[in-house]
Structure 1
Amino acid sequence: MTATIVETPVDVSTVDARVVRRRLGPGRRIPFAFWIGPALILAIWSAGSATGLIPPAILTAPWDVVIAFEDQWVNHDLLGNILASLERAVLGLALGVVTGAALAVISGLSRIGESLVDGPIQIKRSVPTLALIPLFIAWFGIGEEMKVLTIALITLVPIYVHTHNGLRSIDGKYAELAETIGIGRGAFVRHIVLPGALPGFLLGMRFAVTSSMLGLVVVEQYNAVAGVGHMITLAEQYGQTDVIVVGLVIYGVFGYCADAAVRLTGRKVLAWRRTLED
């Protein structure tokens, strides 16, 4: 008696999709996962300070930082310093984002625009913006204009690079489809090209908000009369390491929250686009 083996057809595409998902995707999103890493760092910092593995001369204990924060808030103008720093960062970031995005559109949608814009931007990428601060001081003085323009120039480059790359990465089949169904160039740019470049723009925003914090840290060391950097400079003169750590923590919170806001915006705006992040 011969046994008959019945083969059940297997959907290979479904299996491949499951394998790829298991290998590359993060699976079910963990609630508040974005804060697990910082909480772990805080726990290690606290444990190290409590056990003496991290001496106060190396890094102030978290509870001493909290006390210093309260002292700066009650007895000094910590809120005013925070608002001054935020104003500089927001103004510089806004100017850099608008300028970088506009240049990317000009360069990404026009060969002539690319020949005029892309070369100078690439030259700028090879010259650190922070090295230009002495020149900016000679041009604009040491007031707010120099600080805001420095932050703007730092944030301009990542916005331009990633937005330009997004514009140039649009699949050519969409252009062919637009020609086939008779969509005009203006409608094609508005409804296909710009939305297609949005992921690149948002990626550039993540780099830009981090770069704005880097620029803020540096420019606030130059004759600032208010701001977190001004507070750190005074604390350095008086040897107040706990206040210095307060300022560094504030800078870190600024950047972390800004990056989280950009990521959340990306998830909302790009809900139509399945990515590994989702």
Structure 2
Amino acid sequence: MQKIAIDIGYGDTKVVTKDQQFKFASAIEKKREAMADYGSAQEDVYEYGGKKYTVGDKALANAVSTRGFNFLVKYSPLIIYHAIKKAGLNTKEPIHIVTGLSIVNWNEKEHFIEAIKTININDEVIKPKIKLMAQGQGIFYDYKGDKNGIVCIVDIGYNTFDFLVFEDGDPRPDLSFATKKGANVVITELQTKIKKKFNADITEQMAKDIFTTGYFMNYGEKIDLTDEIEDAKIDYTDFILDEMKSQRSDLLRSATKVIFSGGGAYFLEGAKLPKNVDFSEKPYEFANARGYYEKG
């Protein structure tokens, strides 16, 4: 059976198969009717529910908002189908999908599974075998260092901040928590600044792209935003550390290991951190997908 691990983030979707790993923006754009079709490419465009959508990096300019669990329920079939196509899997043969869900939304896991158990796109019907893990579990399985005793996983995603606890390899849900204060806090702040300073109505996905590249194109002029972005990173790092200490101070003190990962872990590089802190292997954002694939 073909196996694929898909970590559907609110910012990017990370994919791992037997011989490849890649990511693409979790961006969805509903295709509009054009005044004239003059040979435009229809790459990454799919028909779903009687409508056509562009998925991934080509959908950044007019992407729908990715924040909120309803986005996952509504558009995960499109994102999964896009991942399967990009991975080159044969849709006529059985597919095993290993994916994850933040514990912020864990009580809705049945709703999520129901949404992806049958994928009907482009007149193709895929009924995959599905394995669902808690977001952060993949990071635990991916980490190759000492995992005896109490291990805390700090998974900083785009829209979620998940803090998972394991004791001698077993999950401790009673000690774990999650919030919706992911890296989007920084991205939306940058989005607001650009709108205010340049009167530019950019999407959240475009702001994420600007955050990554460090500049904003304004009528052909390349505006350097490096300083603003670095200041935002520092502020967010302070927020994350304060949040952890306020929620689980004693646990952090006694933990064998505190492992930072997810795309937001890059913010903490260079910060002064306790001796029991470590990072997952790079690229950090693929740690969940790597772990999903290994244990799926």
Give the structure-2-normalised TM-score: 0.26
Please identify the structure whose Cα radius of gyration is greater. 1
Give the structure-1-normalised TM-score: 0.28
More strand by share: 2
- Highest relative contact order (Cα 8 Å, sep 6+), 1 or 2? 1
More helix by share: 1
